[in-house]
Amino acid sequence: MRTVLRVLAGLVLLGVIVAVVIFFGFTGAGPVPPASRDLEALDEETRAEMVSLGEYVAKAGDCAACHESEDGLALAGGTPMETLMGTVYGTNITPSEAHGIGDYSPDDLYRAMVYGIAPGGRRLYPAMPYTSYHAVSREDIDALYVYLMAQEPVEKPNRDADMAFPFNIRPLIAFWNLIYRPDPPEGPGPGLSAGEKLADTGRGAYLVDVLGHCGECHTPRNLAFAKTGEHLGGTVIEGAVAPDITPQGLAGRGWTETDLSQFLSTGLSPQGVMTFRMFPVLSHSTKYLPERDIEAVSAYLAQDMPEPSEPPSDPDAIDAHPEGHRLYVGLCAGCHGTNGSGQPSGSVPMVGNTTLMLDNPLNLQRVILEGIPARQLSGHLRMQEMPAFDATLAEAELEDLSGYLRARWGVDAIAMQDQ
């Protein structure tokens, strides 16, 4: 009897061990394709080519969005990212041996980007967009590797993530990966290394969905922080609306493909200027994309887009919202114009403004209260500062003003038009 029990216990234990091994095995890194070439034995010319392609991969992938340091060093780490579960900080990805990725092999970088698994099996939080990067090509990651290793190491220690229990138990990310991490596609293709060879929409999709990881902010997440099926459908993240950028969403707010290209390359379009976490996307990433890639991105975002709507305008809002109108003429019209036309390099037009057309007034109200700093956009294009009105407006006045703006040129004017 005792022997039977002992055997049974042994079997159960074995089963548990096997299950754990299988589980963590499968939720660890998947297959790693062989390196595109021997990175140890590059001639000068190839190395230089890979460094410049790698730099482009880093820009298109917007590594700096999260890996920038507090003092503006692009890859030294420190940018906080706030989630419902706590705050994670972008890590040092300079080739520092002590703090960065100096001891990474090319395979290690592949595993981190595609599977979210750092050397030693440490699981990265899905704030690292490996569910987007999962389809980055091996060629592109190799080029990125050569580029990153060619940078000056910065000896800056990483800051530990500040996550609430139980999210601070990293091995548990294995369960998350089991459910939410997509499998890397079979042979993701040659990526950016393909140059002209990749068809435009393919390249656009690769830039938007994979490298550019737009969905990390623009796709709604579920309670487990995983992106839902409403791809690019818009959501609230870090206290601001990341708008719906599906073809339907964009067309409903009057965007054309040309507007998108202008917005991505300069930060400014008839619909407004980049704000909140989108502005750094311009300064770290999209302003560096050559015209051809910008066009590929816009073409992909505007694929099968319905006819864009005309900018809504409802003059009846003046009588319907007298308080809001009075505040607008008294505090805003000096720059934005009584008729909402704006001024070049000074203030964006209210007519056609995308922020007014969002269902959620959050961004509008935050911009009014906090203002927007003066900014160098791309090239010689600048926008002057918008002052903050938090000390000027009482809460009820803010509601009056934003209610008026949305009724005059925004979401409620669209509703009136559609009636």
Partner 1 sequence: MTAMMTVFMTINGTETEPLEVPEDLMLLEFLHEYLNLTGTRYGCGQGVCRACAVIHDGPMGARVVPACVTGVAWAHGRAFRTVEGHADRDEEGNVTAVTPVQQAFLDHFSFQCSYCTPGFVAAAQALVERLEVDPVPAEDVENVVLEALNENICRCTGYVRYLEATRDVILATPGLTIGDGRAEGS
Residues engaged in binding partner 1 (CB under 8 A): 326-327, 329-331, 333-335, 338, 343, 346-347, 384-385, 387, 391
C-beta closer to partner 1: residue 84 or 391: 391
β partners of residue 50: none
C-beta closer to partner 1: residue 119 or 387: 387
- HSE (side-chain half, CA atoms, 13 Å) at 16: 5
Q: Which helix (H) or strand (E) holds 364?
A: helix 362-370
C-beta closer to partner 1: residue 230 or 370: 370
C-beta closer to partner 1: residue 52 or 341: 341
In degrees rounded to 5, what are phi and psi of residue 7? -65, -45
User: Closest distance between partner 1 and the C-beta of residue 70, in Å?
Assistant: 21
Could you tell me the CA-to-CA distances from 103 to 54, 66, 110 in Å, in that order? 18, 21, 14
Tokens 């054309």 found at: 256
Could you tell me the CA-to-CA distances from 334 to 305, 320, 347 in Å, in that order? 36, 22, 10
Tokens of 80: 């906080």
User: Closest distance between partner 1 and the C-beta of residue 385, in Å?
Assistant: 7
C-beta closer to partner 1: residue 39 or 369: 369
Q: Which helix (H) or strand (E) holds 249?
A: helix 247-252
User: Closest distance between partner 1 and the C-beta of residue 333, in Å?
Assistant: 5
Q: Are 170 and 85 in contact (CB under 8 A)?
A: no
User: Closest distance between partner 1 and the C-beta of residue 402, in Å?
Assistant: 16
- What's the CA gap between 349 and 336, in Å, rounded? 6
C-beta closer to partner 1: residue 25 or 330: 330
User: Closest distance between partner 1 and the C-beta of residue 198, in Å?
Assistant: 45
User: Closest distance between partner 1 and the C-beta of residue 268, in Å?
Assistant: 16
Q: What is the largest CA-CA distance in the chain?
A: 92
C-beta closer to partner 1: residue 309 or 313: 313
CB atoms under 10 Å from CB of 341, counted, come to 11
C-beta closer to partner 1: residue 61 or 340: 340
CB atoms under 10 Å from CB of 4, counted, come to 8
- What's the CA gap between 89 and 87, in Å, rounded? 7
Tokens 């956009």 found at: 377
Q: Are 148 and 94 in contact (CB under 8 A)?
A: yes
Tokens 């209260």 found at: 369
User: Closest distance between partner 1 and the C-beta of residue 396, in Å?
Assistant: 15
C-beta closer to partner 1: residue 310 or 385: 385
Q: Are 134 and 181 in contact (CB under 8 A)?
A: yes
User: Closest distance between partner 1 and the C-beta of residue 287, in Å?
Assistant: 24
User: Closest distance between partner 1 and the C-beta of residue 338, in Å?
Assistant: 4
Q: Are 324 and 400 in contact (CB under 8 A)?
A: yes
- What's the CA gap between 268 and 282, in Å, rounded? 10
